[in-house]
Amino acid sequence: MNVYIRVASGGFEHEIWELTRVFFPGWPVKVLDHAAAQSDNPGEKGEGYGDLLVVSEYTCSDFEIVAKSCLKDGSGKVLFKSQRSQKLDESTRRSYLKQKREIKKVLCQCVYDVLSAFTGKHPHWGILTGVRPLKVVHHLMDEGLSDEEVLGALKSEYYVRDDKASLLIETARNQRDIVKSASADTVSLYIHIPFCTTRCLYCSFPSVVMDGCREMVDAYIDSLVTELKRVVSALLRKGVTIQSLYIGGGTPTALAYPQLERLLSAVDLLLDGRPISEYTVECGRPDTLDIDKLSLLKAFGVNRISINPQTMNQETLNEIGRRHTVEQVTSRFYMARYVGFDCINMDIIVGLPGEGVMHMEKTMEAIAALQPDNLTVHTLAVKRASRLKGSLDKYPLTSDDAAEKMLDVCQRWVKKMGLIPYYLYRQKYMVGNLENVGYTKPGKACIYNIQMMGENQTIWAFGAGAVSKVYFAERDCIQRVPNVKDVKEYMDRLDEMIERKMRFIGHSKGGIEDDL
């Protein structure tokens, strides 16, 4: 059984594909190529519903958008259809970006209509399927809408459920000052350490297990420092201000003490006393931490760290491939407090294999006892590059209902801890079609997380697998500048990686080439 998609007028195929997947989890959903799109019966009729075809089209005149969509069965019979139109105000007519957003919205409304009528489903996030639903909220706020008006638009135009819409507005308000602090001459930096002590069951990040590559770690740091020196020096000569710096992975603290010291020393020399608002290092695995490494981080000006348990249930830690213990999480957290860290993040994951509501209660009770300054609540996402993807027969996914109840447990404890939401994003293939939310004590929000997810500030990224995002304010868009993922290939092609960045730096203060 397949679901096929045909956009007769072209464009927005990806958005419609994403939305259709929400209504048919587990079904193959395919966008037809031009030749196949000419047929109303692209596939063979199967069992149950049989093959289905979603047909959509739109027109956009100077004054109005008209969109249509219908759902056909395998024989070509129309099961449901929808048509919507929307008048264009003057500001939308003058803006290509606003027109594009409005076309996408009206077209997705039509697709939602027919798929909801057919399946009886009303997804929590409505037609918002992208990674960054907060962008919609900020655009509405930028137009001068009040919180009540934004709430109404999210519910009536985007079909977002009440609680999710309220969460979006609260999160947007909590991060808005930082989002608005972005400017052309302010950037953030990301440094990637692709080494970890083990590979977690669910992990899809570009990382390698330390045991199999210790001989290349020093050479990797050499390459990383070279890339940093050449690119960051060029940025600083242009007068760019670095707002935040984030060293992630992998697990940066999996590096041996001398290697970590060498990296931090190189960064310190580059900054040359320039103040930055936030300096984060992911400590990830508590078994990679000791008093010496924590003291080293503190001495070099790191003012935010992450100690990530993912769960506080030992049997789950063992099952997902994390070698640390629950006791190590607690002891390293208190060790970090002793060294002087007053902004500590912890990550947990809803929907880990074998876990349910009682496991989440145990995890949240233990986290609340520690009182971290930030808590990031992830929902398990099954990524193609993870070991979990090929092991679903052994590790069946948590049901949507159970995942939502686990998230309710988290939200209850978060309120009890006095934390507020400050950033939010979504991913493909998330259990329950839910979300990831970062919570914070007031005044302790992570600047890097907000700017990276907001995509209205240039982020320069260094190391294997790191992806820089260069922001073009006049078009409100980013251009990705990727480094290759393989560690050895990154080192072999280092000059090419540097040159990719340098061509964006030469002509403007913010690191964006004027003629692009």
CATH assignment, 1-121: 3.40.50
196-255 per-position pLDDT tens digit: 887 676 666 666 777 767 789 999 999 999 999 999 999 999 999 999 999 999 899 999
Report which secondary-structure segment, H or E, holds 334: helix 326-339
The SS3 assignment for 268 reads helix
Report which secondary-structure segment, H or E, holds 437: strand 436-440
**How confident is the model at residue 47, as a pLDDT?**
37
Using a cut of 0.85, tell me whether the model's pTM lies above it: yes
258-275 per-position pLDDT tens digit: 999 999 999 999 999 999
The DSSP letter of residue 50 is -
Mean pLDDT for the chain? 90
> What are the residues facing 6 on neighbouring strands?
55
Q: Which residues make up the CATH 3.40.50 domain(s) of the chain?
A: 1-121
Contact 437, 414 (CB under 8 A): no
Look at the chain and count its residues: 516
* Alpha carbons 508 and 516: distance in angstroms, whole number: 11
- Tell me which of 1.10.1760, 3.30.110, 1.10.110, 3.30.1150 is the CATH number of domain 346-443: 3.30.110
> What are the residues facing 471 on neighbouring strands?
478
The DSSP letter of residue 460 is E
Q: Which residues make up the CATH 3.30.110 domain(s) of the chain?
A: 346-443
The yes-or-no verdict on residue 36 having pLDDT over 60 is: no
Residue 48 pLDDT level (bands cut at 50, 70, 90): very low
